[in-house]
Structure 1
Amino acid sequence: MTDRANVTISLRSDIDGEVEENVFAGEWFRKGETVFIRYEETGEGGDTVRTMVRWRDGELSVTRRGDVESEQKFSAGAIHGGHYRSAHASFRLETETRLLIVQFGDLAKAGPSEEQLRPELPMLLIWHYRLIVNDEPTGEFIIRLQAEELLDTQGD
């Protein structure tokens, strides 16, 4: 079982019905039962934003550093506090998580098995939440993140 791998990350965001899809190169690694996915994206000003996704025991956290700084936490049925900061704005966030699903291993298999609960690649995360900014609901988010091992094709 691999503890570290270069991955392709497919990220699909549905925000109040508006869908955006992105693909990033990143790194997947595991420390014990905690799984991390790290990748970089380009911010609005062309600056780099480093994103770290952390999964452990039914809890997901997403931390972003760079042009934008934010922290969000998600666990099904719970509300968690967080924050957002940029050069233009700073505010506190709350996430009310309605659904949080993780699946590991062969994503083509029907139904979860014990193997699919062990932290390995490929990995699929789906979470649905309501975002609250300064006590005001601002939108419904459905996020789908899939990480698959980036295979070395140089020997072909």
Structure 2
Amino acid sequence: MENKQRVLLTVVNDTGDETIRLSYPADRYVKGSNQYYRYREQEDMGNTSTLLKIGPDEIRIVRQGDMESEQAFAVGELRTGYYRTDQGLLSIATRTSRISVRLHEGIGTVEWDYELQLAGEPAGDYRLALEIRLLDEAE
């Protein structure tokens, strides 16, 4: 992956009950028709590196390090993934109802709505929004 670009990635997670907004400096790469954003998680994630892949038909989030998980999102499809806990591997799945990608050269917004399932049981409905902008060197 070439042509690295520094961006500021703001993640807005709306569960209906609460809205969480976190921002991360990220490296953006392009490979084929996919956009990749790599950043370090903060808060209670410890030393965790996250790779966000935005493709024409799917969004994928892969976390590695102190916290490990993989989630995929594709409209109208059930996508399986996992979340590693101290007790072992937890099976998760997402059923995505909407994806909206409005990016110009990797800058813009991405939104998606999905149902999360843990071990085959419904665990809530979520709306994620990403705001991506160039990271000003002065920040």
The verdict on a shared fold, with TM-score over 0.5 as the criterion, is: yes
Q: Deviations over 1:39-58 (max 9, x none)?
A: 101352x6211111101122
Contact 1:16-1:139 within 8 A present in 2 as well: no
Larger Rg: 1
Question: What is the one-letter code of the residue matched to 1:27?
Answer: D
Contact 1:3-1:31 within 8 A present in 2 as well: no
What aligned pairs does 1:117-128 form with structure 2 within 5 A after superposition? 120-128=105-113
1:25 aligned onto 2:10: no
Unaligned runs of 5+ in 2: none
Alignment partners' CA distance in 1, 2:42 and 2:54: 23
Q: Secondary structure at the match of 2:96?
A: strand
CA RMSD of aligned residues (A): 1.8
71-80 vs 14-23, greater mean Cα deviation: 14-23
1:85 aligned onto 2:84: yes
Aligned to 2:49: 50
Judging changes above 3 Å, is the alpha-carbon distance between structure 1 residues 42 and 78 closer, same or farther for their aligned structure 2 residues? same
Determine which structure has the larger strand proportion and give its number. Answer: 2
What aligned pairs does 1:34-73 form with structure 2 within 5 A after superposition? 34-44=34-44, 47-73=46-72
Judging changes above 3 Å, is the alpha-carbon distance between structure 1 residues 73 and 12 closer, same or farther for their aligned structure 2 residues? same
Contact 2:35-2:106 within 8 A present in 1 as well: no
What aligned pairs does 1:117-156 form with structure 2 within 5 A after superposition? 120-153=105-138
Question: What is the one-letter code of the residue matched to 2:109?
Answer: L
**Shift, 1:151, TM fit:** 2.4
User: What is the aligned length?
Assistant: 138
Aligned to 2:102: 103
**Shift, 1:89, TM fit:** 4.7
Alignment partners' CA distance in 2, 1:78 and 1:12: 23
Q: Secondary structure at the match of 1:76?
A: coil
TM-score (norm. length: structure 2): 0.91
- Percent identity, aligned pairs only, is 25
Question: What is the one-letter code of the residue matched to 2:22?
Answer: N
Question: What is the one-letter code of the residue matched to 1:19?
Answer: T
Q: Secondary structure at the match of 1:152?
A: coil
Aligned to 2:14: 14
TM-score (norm. length: structure 1): 0.81
Which portions of structure 1, spanning 4 or more consecutive aligned residues, are displaced by more than 3 angstroms?
Answer: none
